[in-house]
């Protein structure tokens, strides 16, 4: 499989259209008589940005926490590693890069003082490749340029499960044994690709052509409007155009000269708008993220189907990216001398359920004796054991109070 053009996906995300890209993909571009660009496809809609950022925000939710189950010391040490490596930002860059480009990776290592360091593999600024033997990846190779004073150094990093080697301008500078049995470079594919066993696909690769055509159509309509707003003038009965003079919107013409506006017959804009609407409807049906910003006249059943599709999609993304984050955290702790069996992530539900509807559902299930009180309490976010202890204390206090009042009444009688 040929290496994908990450830069094109990045430009699509931010809505950048170059003349080369427009020509290659047959998008709208118009030149004047001197071959200067007169009109070009512009990003008049930003659905690519909207879809990716919606996915990104739903993946992390409002509350995102990484911890080691039943191990406060390891959790504390992990948080210290996070602070030293600005991991909160790093994890988010890791995910957003994968959503846009289809691939993403984290790398781990040590600084000159031996401290564990974590970083992002910048796919736009370097080249990541793999070596495969017998259907398994046996090495990762990351090459990039690094600025050094007034020049650039060529760096090549090779990661295997038993060694890490770093070359600078072709010379081996670092050669470290890997005792942890895991690559110090952790790659994640956004969506599995049928074209390659390792590389992933971005959603932009599937919807990019549709978004391009929508922007191309709107840009062409905009150019037509410019033609009507600034029509061409036809002069007849005059040999030298320098005799024409214009003051504001008034033309002064020589005797027997005549000016006419070049008019265009027919109107193609309605058919172009119809084409745009069909493309937009297709995109809205394909991408459930767009339903959140424009509910329109959608029925309750259709909305439920869309949200179900969106929730399933985000849960899948969470499984993919959180697995990579957990692996990086577990390896970082091991390199720091802390061995753990499991790293866990706590995150909010993709779409918060209606609390009243949830409460009624759990009450009905509990009354039907289909679930326990503890299950209901935990589902609603309460600590069952802690609440049971408080209830017992309140009951004890109430019984003591009732006993005191009963004693007082007996004495009074």
pLDDT score of 262? 59
Lowest mean pLDDT among 30-44, 251-265, 393-407: 393-407
Nearest-angstrom CA–CA distance, 329 and 78: 7
The domain spans of the chain are 1-141+184-232+268-350
Percent of the chain with pLDDT over 90: 55
The per-residue pLDDT for range 161-170, each reduced to its tens digit, is: 999 999 999 9
CB atoms within 10 A of CB 164: 21
Lowest mean pLDDT among 3-12, 248-257, 380-389: 248-257
pLDDT at 399 over 60: no
Q: Are 373 and 366 in contact (CB under 8 A)?
A: yes
pLDDT score of 410? 39
Mean of pLDDT over the chain: 83
Percent of the chain with pLDDT over 70: 77
Nearest-angstrom CA–CA distance, 366 and 68: 32
Q: Are 42 and 17 in contact (CB under 8 A)?
A: yes
Binning pLDDT at 50, 70 and 90, where does residue 389 land?
confident
pLDDT score of 383? 72
CB atoms within 10 A of CB 84: 14
The per-residue pLDDT for range 340-357, each reduced to its tens digit, is: 999 999 999 887 766 546
What CA–CA distances, in Å, run from 147 to 122, 172, 360? Answer: 15, 18, 62
pLDDT score of 405? 43
pLDDT score of 270? 85
Lowest mean pLDDT among 77-91, 179-193, 266-280, 308-322: 266-280
Count CA atoms closer than 13 A to 35's CA, side-chain side.
0
The distance in angstroms from the start CA to the end CA of the chain is 97
Question: Residue 305 contacts by C-beta under 8 Å, 6 or more apart in sequence?
Answer: none
Higher pLDDT, 5 or 264: 5
pLDDT score of 122? 94
Nearest-angstrom CA–CA distance, 253 and 197: 72
* CB-based burial label for 95 (10 Å; 0-12, 13-18, 19+): buried
**Mean pLDDT of the 378-383 span:** 71
pLDDT score of 37? 92
The per-residue pLDDT for range 287-339, each reduced to its tens digit, is: 888 876 655 555 555 666 777 888 899 999 999 999 999 999 999 999 999 99
pLDDT score of 229? 61
* Tokens found for residue 18: 């170059």
Q: Are 132 and 125 in contact (CB under 8 A)?
A: no
The per-residue pLDDT for range 231-290, each reduced to its tens digit, is: 666 666 666 555 555 555 665 666 666 656 656 565 778 888 899 999 998 998 888 888
pTM above 0.85, yes or no: no
Lowest mean pLDDT among 2-11, 79-88, 169-178, 241-250: 241-250
């Amino acid at each position: 499989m040929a290496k994908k053009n990450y830069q094109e996906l990045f430009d699509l995300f931010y809505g950048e259209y170059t003349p080369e890209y427009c020509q290659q993909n047959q998008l709208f571009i118009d030149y004047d008589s001197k071959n200067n660009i007169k009109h070009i496809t512009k990003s008049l809609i930003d659905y690519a940005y909207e879809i990716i950022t919606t996915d990104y925000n739903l993946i992390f939710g409002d509350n995102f926490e990484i911890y080691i189950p039943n191990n406060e010391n390891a959790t504390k040490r992990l948080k210290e590693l996070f602070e030293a490596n600005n991991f909160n930002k790093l994890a988010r860059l890791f995910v957003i890069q994968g959503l846009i480009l289809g691939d993403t990776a984290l790398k781990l290592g040590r600084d000159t003082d031996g401290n564990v360091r974590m970083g992002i593999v910048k796919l736009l600024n370097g080249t990541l490749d793999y070596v495969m033997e017998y259907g398994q990846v046996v090495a990762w190779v990351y090459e990039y340029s690094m600025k050094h004073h007034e020049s650039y150094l060529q760096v090549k990093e090779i990661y295997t499960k038993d060694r890490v080697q770093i070359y600078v301008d072709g010379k081996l500078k670092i050669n470290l044994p890997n005792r942890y049995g895991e690559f110090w470079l952790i790659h994640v594919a956004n969506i599995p690709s049928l074209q390659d066993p390792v590389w992933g696909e971005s959603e932009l690769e599937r919807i990019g052509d549709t978004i391009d055509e929508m922007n191309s159509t709107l840009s062409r309509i905009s150019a037509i409007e410019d033609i009507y707003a600034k029509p061409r003038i036809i002069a007849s009965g005059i040999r030298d155009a320098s005799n024409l003079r214009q003051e504001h919107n008034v033309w002064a013409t020589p005797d027997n000269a005549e000016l006419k506006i070049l008019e265009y017959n027919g109107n193609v804009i309605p058919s172009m708008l119809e084409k745009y609407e069909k493309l937009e409807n297709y995109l809205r049906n394909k991408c459930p993220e767009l339903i959140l910003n424009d509910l329109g006249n959608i029925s309750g059943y259709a909305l439920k189907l869309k949200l179900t599709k969106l929730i399933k999609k985000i849960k899948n993304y969470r499984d993919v990216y959180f697995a990579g984050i957990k692996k990086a955290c577990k390896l970082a702790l091991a390199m720091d001398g802390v061995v753990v069996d499991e790293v866990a992530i706590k995150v909010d539900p993709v779409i918060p359920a209606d609390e009243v509807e949830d409460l009624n559902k759990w009450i009905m299930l509990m009354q039907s004796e289909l679930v326990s009180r503890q299950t209901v309490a935990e589902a609603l976010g309460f600590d069952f054991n802690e609440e049971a202890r408080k209830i017992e204390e309140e009951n004890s206090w109430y019984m003591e109070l009732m006993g005191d009042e009963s004693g007082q009444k007996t004495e009074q009688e």
